[in-house]
Amino acid sequence: MRYIVAGLLFLCAFPLSAAEITRQPLENDTDLISVTGVLNDGDEIIFRNLATASSKALVFLNSEGGDLKAGIEIGRAIRLRGFATATPPGTLCASACALTWLAGSPRFLQPESNIGFHAAYRVVDGKASESGVANALVGAYLNQLGLSETAIAYVTSAPPEGIAWLTAAKAQTVGITYDAIDEDGPDPASEGARRFRTTRWAR
């Protein structure tokens, strides 16, 4: 799928920094929306404003995380509009970014990229401490995405100072489905690629 390959090349040019959210047309009436860098409060508003102009989009994520609310609200916008999510090759999508990636329908994952989860936390006296309220919000969001209790427990299991990296084996065990993509794009016979090609998504 040429539009995914073109998007991969486009995204690899961006270093990680404060979040940059852009949209560009690809082909087949599909837009590429890229979210690159650290998520900040208010980025969800920028994303929603861009997303309203797209009827069908692939959202590329390249971020070590950032603001939890921004990550969740971008994810909700992605799920509401039926957008797909993907990672560029050799990049990082962790913490709040990984929560956003989970909202994709379908989800694509480049094998050389890293998806990482940990429990939500707040900083108290300079130390990270798990936040029960924040983790409850994460759990409610993941439940809205249709994830199983096993998957929700996995996503929130790692402590704030740690991270749980998603592997193919772990994804299968906990029920987090995705389509693997390489430099040629996703397997065109995969269910996710088929749905992404044929579904007309409403504005």
11 domain-assigned: yes
* Distance from C-alpha of 150 to C-alpha of 174, rounded to nearest angstrom: 6
The predicted structure's pLDDT at residue 129: 63
203 domain-assigned: no
9 domain-assigned: yes
SS3 content of the chain, % helix, strand, coil (to 5): 35, 25, 40
202 domain-assigned: no
Q: What domain count does the chain have? A: 1
pLDDT single digits (tens) 84-107: 999 988 889 999 999 999 999 999
70 domain-assigned: yes
69 domain-assigned: yes
180 domain-assigned: yes
187 domain-assigned: yes
Residue carrying the six token digits 């837009």: 31
- Domain of 115 in residue numbering reads as 2-196
pLDDT single digits (tens) 104-141: 999 999 888 999 999 887 666 667 667 788 889 999 99
Residue 2 exposed, middle or buried by CB count within 10 Å (0-12, 13-18, 19+): exposed
* pTM of the predicted model as reported, rounded to 2 decimal places: 0.81
For residue 12, what is the domain's CATH number? 3.90.226.10
Residue 5 has pLDDT above 80, yes or no: no
